[in-house]
Structure 1
Amino acid sequence: MSITHCIFDLDGLLLDTESIYTECLQKMLTPYGKNFTTDMKVKMMGKSTLEAGQLLIRELELPMTDDEFLVKSNELYIEAFPDAQLMQGVQRLIEYLAKNNIPIAIATGSDEHLFELKTRNHRELFKLFDPIICTNATEVRKTKPEPDIFLEAARKFKQPPLSMSQCLVFEDAENGVQAALAAEMKVVLVPSLPLAAYSSNLVKQATVVLDKLTNFDPEMFGLPPMPPSSAS
């Protein structure tokens, strides 16, 4: 069955924000003599800001409350996120899908406030997505790796897919791949961390693994061919 709808993660997939998260969280942890490790990052990716903070506080035994984490992290994010740049190949892929009338959605662990900060300098491109589902949406009860956010995105399309298997999810994180598989959707993994940081079993379960979006071949999924371009 061919793909009819596409759903995208945001951080580390459409926008180069994972490096910003790492810098901000390390800046927060340094006064406590703690390091923000790759293992911790893998666990937090795809979670809501609150859930990620609770995980960080618990794992590193930080002397701060959930609210203190939210305030401190938000101060750092407000300064850093508006500078977020598109990942390689994003502009071309999204414009190609929109031109060919392939419905596209975003399902992100960000809340609406952070989503606005991150996309502020790319508003025209992000207008092409409908729906945009953030983790503070009332309908999303559980975050990735649960499938709720992807299922909600599929339901919110103006013309929902006939089957979840007609949805193609683009993800950079383990939690997101697990969520897509649980939703019975196909999934393209574009790792934002070294592949060795991911579970080898989970990598094998992804429909396709790419090193960057510019290598995506839509014809593999029954979509129209993408015109060649010298620009990425």
Structure 2
Amino acid sequence: MTDRAVLFDMDGTLVDSEGLHFDAMAQALLEMGYSLPERFADRITGMSGADCHALLQKTIGFTLPLADYIAGKYRSYLAAAARLKRRGGVDDVLTLLSQTRTPFAIVSNSDRILVDANLRAVDLQHPGLVSVSRNDVLRGKPDPEPYLRAAYLLGVSPRDCIVVEDSIPGAVAGLAAGMTVIGWPEPHRTDIVFPRAAILADPDDLSSALASLLSAPSDIRHFKDKTDVSR
């Protein structure tokens, strides 16, 4: 059994759900009399529901309360969540973790109701699975608290954790927690510039990067300067 653990973001990383998040948001806002600006989806990757609501207030003058926004979006999202699929390459990664007996956890900026719906849809919800939702912490990503909580629940030191993220807020959170971070953007997200301390993986081949880290000495995380998490 490896002495490492892998902590996965959920939306856009394990589950191909970013598109549904945006579609549900757009549908809810349309029903409330609002429309979204072009390319708004690119701006909300990795953001919590509350942060999205705040951005909507600034961007389109959205005036309805957070509770109304959440209720509308979640209603649309949950109605379609059963059709969600795992992101391409995830099956290979899960096989690798099984073969190396590497524990893993799910760390999401989404609320628990969405986390559970996603995990059920892609057949990843099972007894003993460690998952951290936005409801389980005081501060969500980019704060390190969600990743530190997952490490605590797994009983693994943060320095022995490998984070897999598709977003900048998540990568910043993992680095701030003192963990090794793999940036794994979705193939079409060539616009994302991860912090310099993150290790970039091929959007179509996460397993190679992860296998290299799992077989390397634990202090491999020092080969990059992890003090700069600003870019």
Task: State the TM bucket, normalised to the shorter chain.
Answer: 0.7 to 0.9
Which TM-score applies when normalising by structure 1?
0.81
User: Per the alignment, in what secondary structure is the counterpart of residue 92 of structure 2?
Assistant: helix
Q: Does 1:221 align with 2:210?
A: no
User: Per the alignment, in what secondary structure is the counterpart of residue 136 of structure 1?
Assistant: helix
User: Per the alignment, in what secondary structure is the counterpart of residue 144 of structure 1?
Assistant: coil
The corresponding residue for 1:172 is 166
User: What aligned pairs does 1:123-162 form with structure 2 within 5 A after superposition?
Assistant: 123=123, 125-127=124-126, 130-137=129-136, 140-157=137-154, 159-161=155-157
User: What aligned pairs does 1:1-232 form with structure 2 within 5 A after superposition?
Assistant: 4-30=4-30, 32=33, 34-38=35-39, 40-123=40-123, 125-127=124-126, 130-137=129-136, 140-157=137-154, 159-161=155-157, 164-192=158-186, 194-199=188-193, 202-214=194-206, 216-223=208-215
CA contact (8 A) 1:105 1:131 kept: yes
CA contact (8 A) 1:173 1:191 kept: yes
CA contact (8 A) 2:172 2:195 kept: no
Which TM-score applies when normalising by structure 2?
0.81
Aligned-partner residue type, residue 183 of structure 1: A
Deviations 1:54-89 (A, max 9, x none): 332333211312121011111111112121101111
Sequence identity percentage: 21
In the aligned structure 1, how far is the partner of 2:21 from the partner of 2:107?
18
- Deviation, 1:218, is 3.5
Deviations 1:8-62 (A, max 9, x none): 0000011110011122222233464532544x44543333323322332333211
Structure 2: gaps (5+ residues):
217-231
In structure 2, the CA distance between the partners of 1:182 and 1:42, relative to structure 1 (3 Å rule), is: farther
- Deviation, 1:91, is 1.7
In structure 2, the CA distance between the partners of 1:75 and 1:101, relative to structure 1 (3 Å rule), is: same
CA RMSD of aligned residues (A): 2.5
How many residue pairs get matched?
214
